[in-house]
Amino acid sequence: MNKPARILTFKCKKCSKSVQVFLQKVSACSHIQPYQGLCSCGELHRHATGQASAVQSFLNSTNSDWMHDH
């Protein structure tokens, strides 16, 4: 099984600069690999791969302490 990348780079939707997002620690489950990072302009950027419902829950969350529940 391939390990997810620890850092991904995207273009900020607010200022178009590069923003790096870092793999977040959640649990030992493989349902989701959440990423989060802060652009130099202050915009929070989130990205996730995995189970659709878990990804949507993470992307919709405003809580920085989000955890995946079974």
Per-residue pLDDT band at 26 (split at 50, 70, 90): low
Confidence at residue 41, expressed as pLDDT on a 0 to 100 scale: 97
Q: Which CATH number fits domain 7-60: 3.40.50, 1.10.260, 1.10.3470, 2.20.25?
A: 2.20.25
Six-digit token string for 39: 């652009």
> What is the pLDDT confidence band of residue 1, given thresholds at 50, 70 and 90?
low
Distance CA 27, CA 40 (A): 28
Domain ranges of the chain: 7-60
Q: What's the pLDDT score for residue 15?
A: 97
Calculate ∠ Cα 17-59-11, nearest 5°.
Answer: 15
Q: Which neighbouring-strand residues pair with 49?
A: 33
* Residues with Cβ within 8 Å of residue 10, at least 6 apart in sequence: 18, 19, 21, 45, 47
pLDDT of residue 22: 95
Model confidence, pTM: 0.82
Residue 37: per-residue pLDDT: 95
Residue 9 and residue 40: Cα distance in Å, rounded?
13
